Amino acid sequence: MELRPLDSCSTCPVEFAMNMISGKWKLLILYNLMTDGTVRFNELQRRLDTVTHRTLTRQLRELESDELINRTIYAEVPPRVEYSLTDKGKSLTSILLSLQNWGLEHMVE
């Protein structure tokens, strides 16, 4: 693939992608959904132990708005909400795995 300069009227594809996944928790949310499939809200919050309820809710809503995750609400008492990757979200798998591998390589340094 050839890198090409962008003219002033173009939208930068890297900027577009970064806008969708920027935020302290989004990549970790996507990674957890990639590795475990469908996950409930409280389980995500336990795994991301320092994230606040409000921040996690906001990040999940943004990911849902960008069509990277599905939010499924079950009409039960108490209510149950589950999150999973959409096909668009699953298309980030190779990127997430590359980040994981890069982290594994450089964590020991």
Rounded Cα gap, residues 64 and 69, in angstroms? 5
Under 8 Å between Cβ of 29 and 62: no
More confident residue, 23 or 29: 29
Rounded Cα gap, residues 3 and 1, in angstroms? 7
On average, the pLDDT of the chain sits at: 90
Rounded Cα gap, residues 32 and 89, in angstroms? 12
Within 13 Å of residue 93, how many CA atoms lie on the same side as its CB? Answer: 11
Residue 107 confidence (pLDDT): 87
**Domains detected in the chain:** 14-107 (1.10.10.10)
pLDDT band at 10 (very low <50, low <70, confident <90, very high): low
- Name the residue among 15, 24, 25 with its Cα closest to residue 47: 25
| pTM (two decimals) | 0.84
